[in-house]
Amino acid sequence: MKAYVDLHIHSALSPCADEDMTPNSIVNMAILKGLQIIAITDHNAIGNVAACLEAARNTPLLVVPGIELTTQEEVHLLAYFDEYSSLVSFYEEVEKHLPLLQNRSHIFGHQWIYNAQDQIIDEDQRLLMNAIQLSFDELIYKIVGYGGVPVPAHVNRDSFSVLSSLGFIPPELPIHTIEIFKHNKGSLSTPLQKQLAHYQQIISSDAHSLGNLLEQVFFVDLNQLDAAHLLKRLSQSPEVEP
């Protein structure tokens, strides 16, 4: 089956996201846009994933547990897990490496945590926009170690991407899929496109506001609509001519 996906969406827990990026608003907008699968991927935090899973429970929409990490090198790295409990275990280890700095909400924005009824239940006081003190390689292996799938985010962007920070994708790492930011599609040089052909490519919105969620722009072919099948697809490399 064709499953239309948008696997990179920020809730209001990300300081840069709109305050109406609440669990039910995101879920309802995704359904309106004709999506079958979304992922909530907040910066270095997972506080709204449970509420989004709950909000989607009696709907046709599948929410995949996820996060967008900022590595020590300032590379944005997405991670997806088929079970929420695996995301939590992974995060418990990773959050120890967040710098001990407080968010200044008047400068950077609020970091709201919601329940499944869209009520604010807490505010994350940590500075989530800073880099986690773990390298790109270390985080990749940790994600895989917890059964997750790493996907370098918006590789075709000029900042916070693996290409802008490291200049290349280390070929020895267990990476099979990369994310292309939709607005920059086609902006890559030919040699880069050749290198990237070794990876499966997904297109996501990186939405920070409801209107920016993808419509039916990008789909994956799945035998079954569940997180395990999606993750299996994201763990496969494309067949590339030698």
What residues make contact with Zn ion under the rule CB under 5 A?
68, 76, 153, 206
Per 3-state DSSP, the chain is made up of helix, strand and coil in percentages (nearest 5) of: 30, 25, 50
Q: Which residue is nearest to Zn ion (CB)?
A: 76
Cα 178 to Cα 162: distance, rounded to the nearest angstrom:
10
Measured from the CB atom, is 5 or 153 closer to Zn ion? 153
In whole angstroms, the minimum distance from the beta carbon of 63 to Zn ion comes to 16
In whole angstroms, the minimum distance from the beta carbon of 8 to Zn ion comes to 6
Cα 234 to Cα 151: distance, rounded to the nearest angstrom:
8
Measured from the CB atom, is 76 or 182 closer to Zn ion? 76
Residue 81, SS3? coil
Quick one: which of 96, 97, 93, 128 has its CA closest to 110?
128
Quick one: which of 67, 9, 15 has its CA closest to 210?
9
Structure tokens that stand for 132 in this block: 């986690």
Number of H helices, E strands in the chain: 8, 10
In whole angstroms, the minimum distance from the beta carbon of 159 to Zn ion comes to 9
In whole angstroms, the minimum distance from the beta carbon of 240 to Zn ion comes to 26
Measured from the CB atom, is 103 or 204 closer to Zn ion? 204
In whole angstroms, the minimum distance from the beta carbon of 123 to Zn ion comes to 20
Measured from the CB atom, is 140 or 222 closer to Zn ion? 140
Measured from the CB atom, is 153 or 231 closer to Zn ion? 153
H or E segment and range at residue 226:
none
20 and 9 in contact (C-beta within 8 Å)? no
